[in-house]
Amino acid sequence: MTINIEIANKDDFKAVNSIIKEGHNEHAEALPHIFKDIDQVMPGKNFNELLEDPNCEVLIVKEYGDIVGFAVIELSESPPFDSMTPRKFAYMSDFGVKRSSQRKGIGRELFNECLNWAKNRGADSLDLNVGEFNRKAISFYENFGMKTVSRKMTLPIK
């Protein structure tokens, strides 16, 4: 396998969007009351804002030149409340590998690259949110030693 992990640029939007769409469709199918199935999940404007944000990095994985994975990771700090322990953390707001390129270790390489990014910027932890329906992703993250801190619960009202 020949893969390269690079920092994304504006020209990568279309390819990244098609991977985002695959993941978003799974969400829209599992949680239709929260997510809508649409073609362009992330507006191009937002993608460019991420690229320009100095606290954020968009990484892409290329396999023989094609974009087959991406991650969005940003550096954050705990809010300045007396009740919170001051800490710096990396938040992975998006992560995906093209379905046809899964189960080849690409996600693992990309995740480790994100972890290095977080380490190099002095983050105390790498944090993320994942849908409870997405057992595949939860197992993937657990394999890196990630633990659940909190859960979001909901009660539909008839």
Residues contributing to the site for its own copies (CB under 8 A): 24, 31-36, 38, 40-42, 78, 82-85, 87, 89-90, 115, 118-119, 123-132, 138, 141, 144-157
Q: What are phi and psi of 91, to 5 degrees?
A: -115, 120
Beta carbon nearer to its own copies, 63 or 93: 93
Minimal distance, residue 56 CB to its own copies, in Å: 18
Q: What are phi and psi of 129, to 5 degrees?
A: -115, 140
Beta carbon nearer to its own copies, 9 or 31: 31
Minimal distance, residue 115 CB to its own copies, in Å: 7
CA-CA distances (angstroms) from residue 141 to 34, 66, 112, 114?
23, 25, 11, 13
DSSP secondary structure code for residue 25 in this structure: H
CA-CA distances (angstroms) from residue 63 to 60, 68, 92, 106?
10, 6, 22, 9
Beta carbon nearer to its own copies, 64 or 151: 151
Beta carbon nearer to its own copies, 62 or 88: 88
